[in-house]
């Protein structure tokens, strides 16, 4: 190996090592920039929340971002906000789709009668399996063709 080839290989190895470090450094820089943006957003949110705290009256009702009774003495009631009546927007769940109501009308599955009924059904199934009185599967393939021929 000549002197030039050795230098070339050393240069390629160095480039590979430095490119790896460069990628790692770029990834770290991106990660730190995202973290700084998150922290900036949190700080901004906290600052805005501190500036715009809602004012509460003694009954713990929110009166808005400002005192409607400017200069009112502490302990006096704030004027109640006029709330317009709620209009029907057509987005309510229809009565026939409300599951809770339907479940409330069903009988309780844990009652003694229901348990006895389930036990009786299980007993019938078990006896039918033991005696071979269960419904047989339909025939398929060659067995089905033979059964059709035997039936004619």
* Across 5-14, 31-40, 69-78, least confident range: 69-78
pLDDT-based confidence at residue 66 (cuts at 50, 70, 90): very low
Q: Which helix (H) or strand (E) holds 21?
A: helix 3-51
Q: What is the pLDDT of residue 56?
A: 52
Confidence of residue 20 (pLDDT cuts 50, 70, 90): very high
Specify the higher pLDDT residue, 140 or 73.
140
Dihedral sign of CA atoms 116, 122, 127, 130 in order: negative
Confidence check: pLDDT of 18 > 90: yes
The average pLDDT across 35-39 equals: 92
pLDDT level of residue 6 (50, 70, 90 thresholds): very high
Does residue 29 register a pLDDT over 70? yes
Extract the tokens encoding 71.
């200069």
Look at residue 81 in the predicted model and tell me its pLDDT: 60
Given a cut of 50, is residue 10 above it in pLDDT? yes
CB 116 within 8 A of CB 122: no
The model's pTM? 0.31
pLDDT at 122 over 60: yes
Task: Give the residue among 52, 59, 100 at the shortest CA–CA distance from 80.
Answer: 59
Q: What is the pLDDT of residues 127-142, one digit of tens each?
A: 888 887 777 778 899 9
Cβ–Cβ under 8 Å, residues 65 and 55: yes
Contact 95, 101 (CB under 8 A): yes
- Residue 50 has a pLDDT of 81
Coil, helix or strand at residue 62: strand
Q: Which residues contact 78 (CB under 8 A, 6 or more apart)?
A: 55, 57, 61, 63, 67, 68, 69, 72
Q: What angle do CA 6, 10, 13 make, to 5 degrees?
A: 140
Instruction: Quote the DSSP letter at residue 96.
Output: G
Nearest to 44 by CA among 34, 36, 54: 36
């Amino acid at each position: 190996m000549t002197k030039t080839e050795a230098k070339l290989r050393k240069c390629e190895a160095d480039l590979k090592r430095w490119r790896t470090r460069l990628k790692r450094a770029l990834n770290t820089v991106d990660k730190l920039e995202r973290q700084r943006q998150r922290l900036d957003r949190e700080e901004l949110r906290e600052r805005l929340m501190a500036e715009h705290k809602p004012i509460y009256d003694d009954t713990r009702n929110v009166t808005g971002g400002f005192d409607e009774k400017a200069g009112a003495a502490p302990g006096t009631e704030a004027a109640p906000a006029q709330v317009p009546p709620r209009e029907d927007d057509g987005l309510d769940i229809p009565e026939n789709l409300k599951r809770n109501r339907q479940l409330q009308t069903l009988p309780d599955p844990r009652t003694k009668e229901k348990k006895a009924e389930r036990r009786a059904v299980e007993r019938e199934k078990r006896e039918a399996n033991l005696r071979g009185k269960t419904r047989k599967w339909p025939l398929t393939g060659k067995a089905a063709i033979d059964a059709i021929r035997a039936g004619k």
